[in-house]
Amino acid sequence: MPTDAPLQTWELRVAGRAHRVEVRGSVSRRIQWWVDGDLVLDKKSADDKPRLTAPDRPELGALSLRFSGLGKPRRATVTPQGQLTGIDLDPEEGSPAAEYEDRVRAHPRRYALVQTVGGVAAVVVPILVTILLARLAFSINWPDLGLPSIPWPNLPSLPSIPLPDLPSLPSISLPGWLEWILDRGNYVWPVIIAFVVARGEIARRRKQDELRAQARAEAQELEQVRDQDRDQDRDRDEGSA
């Protein structure tokens, strides 16, 4: 394996195979995928949501990685061939991805609040910047360039077309809270979406914890079976001797 320390490492045994993923770099990232000690993928990518496959090992399924908008590693997910649901690999203890998972798991309400505040900032900050730029533009005494006026030809007026009288639609009274949301939809929806995405990530984290626990239990059972087979082989060899 490479000697230089990776930025982030994930490991887990999935479907009987030991997976290890290493990421190096922050912008143009080098992604390496190891399965049972063999390097099956070595690729560079600047994508924050790459989905990769090993060209020579299609039976391994797919590897998906996620990074934040600032390039911080979030998760590495292996989806076995023929399955729809993937399993997140375990991030190295104390790594950025592990700290992120711990925050989501230990303080779900705080995480949802932080993400919602981020949605508010995405709405408020552009408005404040626009106001400041407008005030700056109006405060500057721009010189009069004295551009000539452009004569426009007089175009003939179009004939009026009589339209049929349409029946009046019945008036619908909406709840006050719904009218408020519709009037401010451009500002409210980013906040709602941020909250929904945060809640979805919390639910996903809980589901992935269950899948990981199941994968660890299966790996432990497999190791016990192997130990028993080795013990039986040793006893058989000793008996035959």
Q: pLDDT tens across 35-53, in order?
A: 999 999 999 999 999 999 9
At the topology level, CATH places domain 1-92 in Lipocalin (2.40.128)
DSSP letter string, the chain: --SSPPSEEEEEEETTEEEEEEEE-SSSEEEEEEETTEEEEEEEE--SS-EE--TT-GGG-EEEEEE-TT--EEEEEEE-TT-S--EEPEEPTTSHHHHHHHHHHH-HHHHHHHHHHHHHHHHHHHHHHHHHHHHHHHHS------PPPPP---PPPPPP---PPPPPPPP-PPPHHHHHHHHTHHHHHHHHHHHHHHHHHHHHHHHHHHHHHHHHHHHHHHHHHHHHHHHHHHHHHHHH-
pTM of the model: 0.64
Q: Where are the domains of the chain?
A: 1-92, 107-136+180-233
pLDDT digits (tens, 9 = 90+) for 156-188: 776 777 767 767 666 666 677 666 665 666 667
- Below-70 pLDDT ranges, the chain: 1-3, 120-125, 127-128, 138, 142, 144-147, 149, 152, 155, 158, 163, 166, 168-174, 177-187, 235, 237, 239-241
